Protein backbone atom coordinates (compact mmCIF):
# COMPACT_ATOMS: atom_id res chain seq x y z
CA UNK A 1 0.00 0.00 0.00
CA UNK A 2 1.22 3.47 -0.94
CA UNK A 3 -0.65 6.66 -0.15
CA UNK A 4 0.38 8.07 -3.55
CA UNK A 5 -0.63 5.06 -5.70
CA UNK A 6 -2.40 5.85 -8.96
CA UNK A 7 -2.72 2.34 -10.41
CA UNK A 8 0.69 2.09 -12.09
CA UNK A 9 2.86 -0.83 -11.01
CA UNK A 10 6.32 0.32 -9.91
CA UNK A 11 9.41 -1.53 -11.15
CA UNK A 12 10.59 -3.84 -8.34
CA UNK A 13 14.23 -2.71 -8.54
CA UNK A 14 13.20 0.95 -8.33
CA UNK A 15 10.76 0.26 -5.52
CA UNK A 16 13.37 -1.59 -3.46
CA UNK A 17 15.90 1.18 -4.01
CA UNK A 18 13.53 4.02 -3.15
CA UNK A 19 11.97 2.36 -0.10
CA UNK A 20 15.41 1.47 1.28
CA UNK A 21 15.51 1.13 5.07
CA UNK A 22 12.38 3.19 5.65
CA UNK A 23 10.31 0.38 7.23
CA UNK A 24 13.13 -0.41 9.65
CA UNK A 25 13.62 3.25 10.60
CA UNK A 26 9.88 3.91 10.75
CA UNK A 27 9.45 1.22 13.40
CA UNK A 28 11.15 3.67 15.80
CA UNK A 29 8.59 6.33 14.84
CA UNK A 30 5.44 4.21 15.17
CA UNK A 31 4.09 5.49 18.49
CA UNK A 32 4.95 9.08 17.55
CA UNK A 33 3.04 8.76 14.27
CA UNK A 34 -0.01 7.63 16.23
CA UNK A 35 0.37 10.48 18.74
CA UNK A 36 0.61 12.98 15.89
CA UNK A 37 -2.52 11.52 14.31
CA UNK A 38 -4.40 11.79 17.61
CA UNK A 39 -3.67 15.51 17.74
CA UNK A 40 -4.47 15.95 14.05
CA UNK A 41 -7.91 14.31 14.24
CA UNK A 42 -8.77 16.40 17.31
CA UNK A 43 -8.01 19.47 15.22
CA UNK A 44 -9.96 18.15 12.21
CA UNK A 45 -12.96 17.64 14.47
CA UNK A 46 -12.58 21.15 15.86
CA UNK A 47 -12.66 22.77 12.39
CA UNK A 48 -15.57 20.60 11.20
CA UNK A 49 -13.81 18.19 8.85
CA UNK A 50 -14.80 15.24 11.07
CA UNK A 51 -18.15 14.61 12.73
CA UNK A 52 -18.26 14.00 16.44
CA UNK A 53 -18.89 10.30 15.83
CA UNK A 54 -16.04 10.04 13.33
CA UNK A 55 -13.69 11.80 15.76
CA UNK A 56 -14.70 9.46 18.55
CA UNK A 57 -14.16 6.34 16.38
CA UNK A 58 -10.77 7.50 15.07
CA UNK A 59 -9.55 8.52 18.51
CA UNK A 60 -10.58 5.21 20.04
CA UNK A 61 -8.91 3.15 17.31
CA UNK A 62 -5.73 5.23 17.29
CA UNK A 63 -5.38 4.57 21.01
CA UNK A 64 -5.78 0.85 20.32
CA UNK A 65 -2.98 1.04 17.75
CA UNK A 66 -0.85 2.96 20.24
CA UNK A 67 -1.27 0.17 22.78
CA UNK A 68 -0.33 -2.37 20.11
CA UNK A 69 2.88 -0.43 19.49
CA UNK A 70 3.63 -0.30 23.22
CA UNK A 71 3.07 -4.06 23.53
CA UNK A 72 5.26 -4.69 20.44
CA UNK A 73 2.28 -6.16 18.59
CA UNK A 74 2.54 -3.62 15.76
CA UNK A 75 4.63 -4.01 12.63
CA UNK A 76 4.80 -2.55 9.15
CA UNK A 77 3.49 -5.24 6.83
CA UNK A 78 5.24 -6.38 3.67
CA UNK A 79 4.26 -4.21 0.74
CA UNK A 80 3.35 -1.26 2.96
CA UNK A 81 5.66 1.64 2.21
CA UNK A 82 5.97 3.40 5.55
CA UNK A 83 4.53 3.98 9.01
CA UNK A 84 2.01 6.54 7.78
CA UNK A 85 0.60 4.09 5.25
CA UNK A 86 0.43 1.30 7.84
CA UNK A 87 -1.53 3.36 10.36
CA UNK A 88 -3.97 4.61 7.73
CA UNK A 89 -4.39 1.08 6.35
CA UNK A 90 -5.20 -0.27 9.83
CA UNK A 91 -7.71 2.48 10.47
CA UNK A 92 -9.38 1.90 7.11
CA UNK A 93 -9.52 -1.88 7.56
CA UNK A 94 -11.06 -1.49 11.02
CA UNK A 95 -13.29 1.57 10.53
CA UNK A 96 -13.93 1.67 6.79
CA UNK A 97 -13.91 4.92 4.83
CA UNK A 98 -13.51 7.00 8.00
CA UNK A 99 -9.92 5.84 8.20
CA UNK A 100 -9.04 7.62 4.98
CA UNK A 101 -10.05 10.98 6.43
CA UNK A 102 -7.04 11.31 8.73
CA UNK A 103 -4.90 12.42 5.80
CA UNK A 104 -6.97 15.57 5.24
CA UNK A 105 -4.73 18.62 5.51
CA UNK A 106 -1.58 16.53 5.82
CA UNK A 107 1.22 15.33 3.60
CA UNK A 108 3.65 12.53 4.33
CA UNK A 109 6.20 15.35 4.41
CA UNK A 110 4.82 17.06 7.49
CA UNK A 111 3.90 13.70 9.03
CA UNK A 112 7.49 12.51 8.97
CA UNK A 113 8.69 15.93 10.12
CA UNK A 114 6.35 15.70 13.09
CA UNK A 115 7.21 12.07 13.86
CA UNK A 116 10.92 12.83 13.90
CA UNK A 117 10.47 15.87 16.13
CA UNK A 118 8.33 13.93 18.60
CA UNK A 119 10.90 11.12 18.54
CA UNK A 120 13.72 13.62 19.04
CA UNK A 121 12.13 15.25 22.07
CA UNK A 122 11.67 11.85 23.68
CA UNK A 123 15.17 10.69 22.74
CA UNK A 124 16.82 13.87 24.04
CA UNK A 125 15.05 13.39 27.36
CA UNK A 126 16.51 9.87 27.61
CA UNK A 127 20.02 11.06 26.73
CA UNK A 128 19.74 13.83 29.31
CA UNK A 129 18.67 11.38 32.01
CA UNK A 130 21.56 9.03 31.17
CA UNK A 131 24.04 11.89 31.08
CA UNK A 132 22.86 13.00 34.51
CA UNK A 133 23.54 9.50 35.86
CA UNK A 134 27.09 9.60 34.49
CA UNK A 135 27.51 13.10 35.91
CA UNK A 136 26.47 11.86 39.35
CA UNK A 137 29.06 9.05 39.19
CA UNK A 138 31.79 11.55 38.29
CA UNK A 139 30.81 13.91 41.09
CA UNK A 140 30.65 11.04 43.58
CA UNK A 141 34.11 9.79 42.56
CA UNK A 142 35.45 13.34 42.68
CA UNK A 143 34.26 13.67 46.26
CA UNK A 144 35.62 10.26 47.18
CA UNK A 145 39.10 10.87 45.79
CA UNK A 146 39.42 14.65 46.13
CA UNK A 147 42.44 14.34 48.46
CA UNK A 148 44.33 11.86 46.25
CA UNK A 149 47.01 13.64 44.21
CA UNK A 150 48.11 12.65 40.73
CA UNK A 151 50.41 14.19 38.12
CA UNK A 152 49.07 16.77 35.73
CA UNK A 153 50.53 16.78 32.21
CA UNK A 154 51.11 19.20 29.37
CA UNK A 155 52.53 17.83 26.11
CA UNK A 156 52.40 14.44 27.91
CA UNK A 157 55.25 15.72 30.08
CA UNK A 158 54.97 15.85 33.87
CA UNK A 159 53.73 19.34 34.65
CA UNK A 160 52.04 20.22 37.96
CA UNK A 161 50.14 18.49 40.76
CA UNK A 162 46.57 17.52 40.02
CA UNK A 163 44.13 15.29 41.87
CA UNK A 164 41.61 12.62 41.05
CA UNK A 165 38.96 14.95 42.45
CA UNK A 166 40.03 17.52 39.87
CA UNK A 167 40.14 14.94 37.09
CA UNK A 168 36.73 13.41 37.71
CA UNK A 169 34.99 16.75 38.20
CA UNK A 170 36.58 18.20 35.05
CA UNK A 171 34.59 15.69 33.00
CA UNK A 172 31.49 16.29 35.12
CA UNK A 173 31.63 20.00 34.30
CA UNK A 174 32.27 19.21 30.65
CA UNK A 175 28.97 17.32 30.61
CA UNK A 176 27.16 20.40 31.93
CA UNK A 177 28.31 22.38 28.90
CA UNK A 178 27.36 19.48 26.64
CA UNK A 179 23.82 19.61 28.02
CA UNK A 180 23.64 23.38 27.48
CA UNK A 181 24.27 22.68 23.80
CA UNK A 182 21.74 19.82 23.84
CA UNK A 183 19.16 22.11 25.43
CA UNK A 184 19.61 24.59 22.58
CA UNK A 185 19.13 21.75 20.09
CA UNK A 186 16.02 20.65 21.99
CA UNK A 187 14.49 24.11 21.54
CA UNK A 188 14.93 23.80 17.78
CA UNK A 189 13.30 20.36 17.82
CA UNK A 190 10.49 21.60 20.08
CA UNK A 191 8.64 23.41 17.26
CA UNK A 192 5.53 22.00 15.59
CA UNK A 193 5.75 21.52 11.79
CA UNK A 194 2.27 19.95 11.45
CA UNK A 195 0.08 21.86 9.02
CA UNK A 196 2.89 22.68 6.62
CA UNK A 197 1.63 19.77 4.47
CA UNK A 198 3.92 19.40 1.45
CA UNK A 199 5.65 22.62 2.38
CA UNK A 200 3.07 25.12 1.12
CA UNK A 201 0.26 24.80 3.64
CA UNK A 202 -3.35 23.87 2.93
CA UNK A 203 -6.58 25.50 1.81
CA UNK A 204 -8.30 23.80 4.76
CA UNK A 205 -8.73 26.14 7.76
CA UNK A 206 -6.22 24.19 9.85
CA UNK A 207 -5.68 25.26 13.45
CA UNK A 208 -1.94 24.84 13.86
CA UNK A 209 -1.86 26.43 17.30
CA UNK A 210 -4.28 23.76 18.52
CA UNK A 211 -2.03 20.88 17.46
CA UNK A 212 0.98 22.76 18.86
CA UNK A 213 -0.73 22.92 22.25
CA UNK A 214 -2.09 19.37 22.13
CA UNK A 215 1.40 17.99 21.46
CA UNK A 216 3.09 20.18 24.08
CA UNK A 217 5.39 21.99 21.68
CA UNK A 218 6.96 25.21 22.91
CA UNK A 219 6.10 26.87 19.60
CA UNK A 220 5.48 26.09 15.93
CA UNK A 221 7.51 26.44 12.77
CA UNK A 222 5.58 29.46 11.57
CA UNK A 223 6.53 29.60 7.91
CA UNK A 224 5.37 26.43 6.14
CA UNK A 225 8.24 26.52 3.63
CA UNK A 226 10.75 26.81 6.46
CA UNK A 227 9.09 23.91 8.28
CA UNK A 228 10.16 21.71 5.35
CA UNK A 229 13.56 23.37 5.10
CA UNK A 230 14.10 22.51 8.75
CA UNK A 231 14.37 18.82 7.96
CA UNK A 232 18.02 17.88 8.04
CA UNK A 233 18.86 21.17 9.78
CA UNK A 234 17.22 20.08 13.02
CA UNK A 235 18.85 16.66 12.85
CA UNK A 236 22.26 18.20 12.13
CA UNK A 237 21.92 20.56 15.10
CA UNK A 238 20.94 17.75 17.45
CA UNK A 239 23.77 15.56 16.16
CA UNK A 240 26.27 18.33 16.94
CA UNK A 241 24.99 18.27 20.53
CA UNK A 242 25.21 14.48 20.73
CA UNK A 243 28.71 14.69 19.26
CA UNK A 244 29.67 17.11 22.03
CA UNK A 245 28.73 14.52 24.67
CA UNK A 246 30.55 11.87 22.65
CA UNK A 247 33.65 14.08 22.53
CA UNK A 248 33.70 14.33 26.33
CA UNK A 249 33.34 10.56 26.63
CA UNK A 250 35.99 9.87 24.02
CA UNK A 251 38.54 12.06 25.77
CA UNK A 252 37.71 10.47 29.12
CA UNK A 253 38.09 7.00 27.58
CA UNK A 254 41.51 7.93 26.20
CA UNK A 255 42.60 9.10 29.67
CA UNK A 256 41.52 5.81 31.24
CA UNK A 257 43.32 3.75 28.59
CA UNK A 258 46.47 5.80 29.17
CA UNK A 259 46.25 5.69 32.95
CA UNK A 260 45.64 1.93 32.97
CA UNK A 261 48.91 1.20 31.18
CA UNK A 262 51.66 -0.16 33.42
CA UNK A 263 53.84 2.84 32.57
CA UNK A 264 51.29 5.07 34.32
CA UNK A 265 49.52 2.67 36.73
CA UNK A 266 47.10 5.34 37.93
CA UNK A 267 43.84 3.38 37.69
CA UNK A 268 42.68 -0.19 37.47
CA UNK A 269 39.50 -1.92 36.34
CA UNK A 270 38.14 -5.09 37.97
CA UNK A 271 39.16 -8.22 36.08
CA UNK A 272 35.58 -8.83 34.96
CA UNK A 273 35.58 -5.51 33.13
CA UNK A 274 38.74 -6.31 31.15
CA UNK A 275 39.58 -8.71 28.34
CA UNK A 276 42.64 -10.88 27.71
CA UNK A 277 45.01 -11.89 24.96
CA UNK A 278 44.99 -15.16 23.05
CA UNK A 279 48.81 -15.31 23.29
CA UNK A 280 49.87 -13.26 26.34
CA UNK A 281 48.40 -14.71 29.54
CA UNK A 282 49.16 -11.65 31.67
CA UNK A 283 47.08 -9.20 29.64
CA UNK A 284 44.12 -7.33 31.11
CA UNK A 285 43.04 -4.98 28.35
CA UNK A 286 40.77 -1.91 28.69
CA UNK A 287 38.77 -2.94 25.62
CA UNK A 288 35.61 -1.41 27.03
CA UNK A 289 37.18 2.06 27.01
CA UNK A 290 38.88 1.53 23.66
CA UNK A 291 35.54 0.64 22.07
CA UNK A 292 33.90 3.48 23.94
CA UNK A 293 36.45 5.84 22.40
CA UNK A 294 35.93 4.40 18.91
CA UNK A 295 32.14 4.43 19.09
CA UNK A 296 32.11 8.00 20.38
CA UNK A 297 34.46 9.06 17.60
CA UNK A 298 32.04 7.49 15.13
CA UNK A 299 29.21 9.53 16.64
CA UNK A 300 31.32 12.65 16.20
CA UNK A 301 31.43 12.00 12.46
CA UNK A 302 27.63 12.10 12.11
CA UNK A 303 27.13 15.90 11.91
CA UNK A 304 29.54 16.04 8.97
CA UNK A 305 27.70 13.19 7.26
CA UNK A 306 24.38 14.94 7.78
CA UNK A 307 25.84 18.18 6.44
CA UNK A 308 27.15 16.40 3.35
CA UNK A 309 23.78 14.74 2.77
CA UNK A 310 21.68 17.90 3.02
CA UNK A 311 24.06 20.65 1.92
CA UNK A 312 23.14 22.94 -1.00
CA UNK A 313 19.58 21.70 -1.46
CA UNK A 314 17.12 24.39 -2.58
CA UNK A 315 13.87 25.04 -0.71
CA UNK A 316 11.17 22.39 -0.89
CA UNK A 317 11.18 18.67 -0.22
CA UNK A 318 13.59 16.21 -1.85
CA UNK A 319 13.87 12.44 -1.41
CA UNK A 320 17.47 12.92 -0.23
CA UNK A 321 15.89 13.62 3.16
CA UNK A 322 14.83 10.00 3.52
CA UNK A 323 18.41 9.01 4.25
CA UNK A 324 18.67 11.42 7.18
CA UNK A 325 16.75 8.93 9.34
CA UNK A 326 19.42 6.26 8.85
CA UNK A 327 22.06 8.58 10.32
CA UNK A 328 19.92 10.20 12.96
CA UNK A 329 17.71 7.63 14.66
CA UNK A 330 20.39 5.02 15.58
CA UNK A 331 22.70 7.71 17.03
CA UNK A 332 20.67 7.97 20.23
CA UNK A 333 20.86 4.27 21.00
CA UNK A 334 24.59 4.19 20.40
CA UNK A 335 25.27 7.23 22.57
CA UNK A 336 23.04 5.96 25.38
CA UNK A 337 24.92 2.66 25.40
CA UNK A 338 28.24 4.51 25.60
CA UNK A 339 27.05 6.71 28.46
CA UNK A 340 25.69 3.75 30.43
CA UNK A 341 28.86 1.68 29.98
CA UNK A 342 31.05 4.62 30.98
CA UNK A 343 29.02 5.21 34.15
CA UNK A 344 29.17 1.52 35.13
CA UNK A 345 32.91 1.21 34.51
CA UNK A 346 33.77 4.43 36.33
CA UNK A 347 31.72 3.35 39.34
CA UNK A 348 33.94 0.28 39.59
CA UNK A 349 37.34 1.80 38.81
CA UNK A 350 40.15 1.58 41.39
CA UNK A 351 42.57 4.42 42.08
CA UNK A 352 46.29 4.22 42.90
CA UNK A 353 46.54 6.47 45.94
CA UNK A 354 50.37 6.51 46.12
CA UNK A 355 51.36 7.65 42.66
CA UNK A 356 53.46 10.62 43.72
CA UNK A 357 55.73 8.53 45.97
CA UNK A 358 57.71 7.69 42.83
CA UNK A 359 60.83 9.90 42.49
CA UNK A 360 60.19 10.51 38.80
CA UNK A 361 57.47 12.94 39.85
CA UNK A 362 59.71 15.16 42.01
CA UNK A 363 59.82 17.97 39.46
CA UNK A 364 56.03 18.11 39.65
CA UNK A 365 56.55 20.45 42.60
CA UNK A 366 58.86 22.92 40.83
CA UNK A 367 56.12 25.49 40.29
CA UNK A 368 55.14 25.15 43.93
CA UNK A 369 58.72 26.10 44.89
CA UNK A 370 58.72 29.06 42.48
CA UNK A 371 55.47 30.31 44.01
CA UNK A 372 56.82 29.80 47.55
CA UNK A 373 59.82 32.03 46.74
CA UNK A 374 57.53 34.65 45.19
CA UNK A 375 55.46 34.72 48.38
CA UNK A 376 58.63 35.50 50.33
CA UNK A 377 59.33 38.54 48.11
CA UNK A 378 61.42 37.15 45.22
CA UNK A 379 60.28 38.47 41.80
CA UNK A 380 58.65 35.69 39.78
CA UNK A 381 61.21 35.70 36.94
CA UNK A 382 64.10 35.49 39.41
CA UNK A 383 62.40 32.69 41.34
CA UNK A 384 61.80 30.82 38.05
CA UNK A 385 65.51 31.05 37.14
CA UNK A 386 66.63 30.05 40.63
CA UNK A 387 64.50 26.90 40.69
CA UNK A 388 65.43 26.08 37.10
CA UNK A 389 69.12 26.36 37.97
CA UNK A 390 68.73 24.02 40.95
CA UNK A 391 67.01 21.48 38.70
CA UNK A 392 69.86 21.83 36.19
CA UNK A 393 72.41 21.16 38.91
CA UNK A 394 70.36 18.15 40.09
CA UNK A 395 70.02 19.82 43.49
CA UNK A 396 66.27 20.40 43.53
CA UNK A 397 64.61 18.93 46.64
CA UNK A 398 60.84 19.23 46.42
CA UNK A 399 58.70 20.43 49.28
CA UNK A 400 55.56 18.39 48.83
CA UNK A 401 53.09 20.56 50.70
CA UNK A 402 50.29 21.63 48.36
CA UNK A 403 48.07 24.60 49.07
CA UNK A 404 45.69 25.47 46.22
CA UNK A 405 42.71 27.42 47.52
CA UNK A 406 41.28 29.43 44.63
CA UNK A 407 37.97 28.52 42.98
CA UNK A 408 38.13 25.33 40.96
CA UNK A 409 41.56 24.24 42.16
CA UNK A 410 42.71 21.10 43.94
CA UNK A 411 41.74 22.40 47.38
CA UNK A 412 38.51 24.10 46.35
CA UNK A 413 36.69 21.99 43.78
CA UNK A 414 33.32 23.75 44.24
CA UNK A 415 31.44 20.60 43.33
CA UNK A 416 28.24 22.14 44.68
CA UNK A 417 28.43 24.87 42.04
CA UNK A 418 28.99 22.34 39.27
CA UNK A 419 25.98 20.35 40.51
CA UNK A 420 23.86 23.51 40.70
CA UNK A 421 24.76 24.36 37.11
CA UNK A 422 23.77 20.86 35.98
CA UNK A 423 20.46 21.07 37.86
CA UNK A 424 19.67 24.44 36.35
CA UNK A 425 20.46 23.20 32.83
CA UNK A 426 18.26 20.12 33.15
CA UNK A 427 15.36 22.15 34.56
CA UNK A 428 15.60 24.52 31.58
CA UNK A 429 14.62 21.72 29.18
CA UNK A 430 11.10 21.74 30.68
CA UNK A 431 10.50 18.13 29.63
CA UNK A 432 7.34 18.03 31.77
CA UNK A 433 5.46 20.25 29.35
CA UNK A 434 5.75 17.73 26.51
CA UNK A 435 5.27 14.70 28.78
CA UNK A 436 2.10 16.07 30.36
CA UNK A 437 0.63 17.11 27.02
CA UNK A 438 1.15 13.69 25.47
CA UNK A 439 -0.29 11.98 28.55
CA UNK A 440 -3.41 14.16 28.40
CA UNK A 441 -3.78 13.50 24.67
CA UNK A 442 -3.66 9.74 25.24
CA UNK A 443 -6.07 9.91 28.18
CA UNK A 444 -8.55 12.30 26.58
Host H or E run for residue 322: none
CB-based contact 434:442 (threshold 8 Å): no
Q: How far apart are the first and last CA of the chain?
A: 31
Long-range contacts of 63-71 (CB under 8 A, 24+ apart): 63/38, 63/442, 65/34, 65/90, 65/91, 66/31, 66/34, 66/35, 66/38, 66/442, 69/30, 69/31, 69/34, 70/31
Question: E strands, 104-190, where?
Answer: 149-154, 157-163
**Predicted confidence pLDDT, tens digits, the chain (444 residues):** 455 455 567 667 666 666 667 677 778 899 999 999 999 999 999 999 999 999 999 999 999 999 999 999 998 887 787 888 889 999 999 999 999 999 999 998 899 999 999 999 999 999 999 999 999 999 999 999 999 999 999 999 999 999 999 999 999 999 999 999 999 999 999 999 999 998 899 999 999 999 999 999 999 999 999 999 988 999 999 999 999 999 999 999 999 999 999 999 999 998 888 887 678 878 788 899 999 999 999 999 999 999 988 888 888 777 777 788 889 999 999 999 999 999 999 999 999 999 999 989 999 999 998 999 999 999 999 999 999 999 999 998 888 888 888 999 998 999 999 999 999 999 999 999 999 999 999 997
Host H or E run for residue 192: strand 191-192
Q: How far is CA 272 from the centre of its chain?
A: 28
Question: How far is it, in rounded angstroms, from Cα 356 to Cα 322?
Answer: 56
Q: How far is CA 2 from the centre of its chain?
A: 33
CB-based contact 335:301 (threshold 8 Å): no
Which residue, among 140, 150, 128, has the nearest Cα to 355 in the 3D structure?
150
Question: How far is it, in rounded angstroms, from Cα 62 to Cα 38?
Answer: 7
Greatest pairwise CA separation for the chain in angstroms:
95
Question: How far is it, in rounded angstroms, from Cα 346 to Cα 134?
Answer: 9
Q: Where are the alpha helices (DSSP H) in 151-232?
A: 164-189, 208-214, 224-229
* Domain architecture of the chain: domains with CATH: 12-104 (1.10.275.10), 109-149+161-196+223-356+415-443 (1.20.200.10), 359-413 (no CATH)
CB-based contact 405:411 (threshold 8 Å): yes
179 contacts: CB under 8 Å, gap ≥ 6: 128, 131, 245, 422, 425, 426
3-state secondary structure 75-99: CCCCCCCCHHHHHHHHHHHHHHHHH
Q: How far is CA 251 from the centre of its chain?
A: 16
Taking residue 43's Cβ as centre, other Cβ atoms within 10 Å add up to: 24
For the purposes of burial, counting CB atoms within 10 Å of the CB of 297, is it exposed (0-12), middle (13-18) or buried (19 or more)?
middle
Question: How far is it, in rounded angstroms, from Cα 228 to Cα 313?
Answer: 12
CB-based contact 401:198 (threshold 8 Å): no
- Radius of gyration of the chain from Cα atoms? 28
Amino acid sequence: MKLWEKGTKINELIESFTVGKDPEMDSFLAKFDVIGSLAHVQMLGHIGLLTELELESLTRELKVIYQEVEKEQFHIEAGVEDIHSQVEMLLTSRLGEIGKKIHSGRSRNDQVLLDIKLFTRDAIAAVTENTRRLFDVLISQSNRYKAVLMPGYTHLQVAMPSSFGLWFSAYAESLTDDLVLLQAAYRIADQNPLGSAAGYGSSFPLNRQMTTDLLGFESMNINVVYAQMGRGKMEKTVLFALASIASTLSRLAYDVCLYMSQNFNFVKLPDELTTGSSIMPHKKNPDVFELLRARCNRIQSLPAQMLTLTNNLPSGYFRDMQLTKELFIPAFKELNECISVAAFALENISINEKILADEKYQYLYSVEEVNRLVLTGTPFRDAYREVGASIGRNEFVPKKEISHTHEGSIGNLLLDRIEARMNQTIESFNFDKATNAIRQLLEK
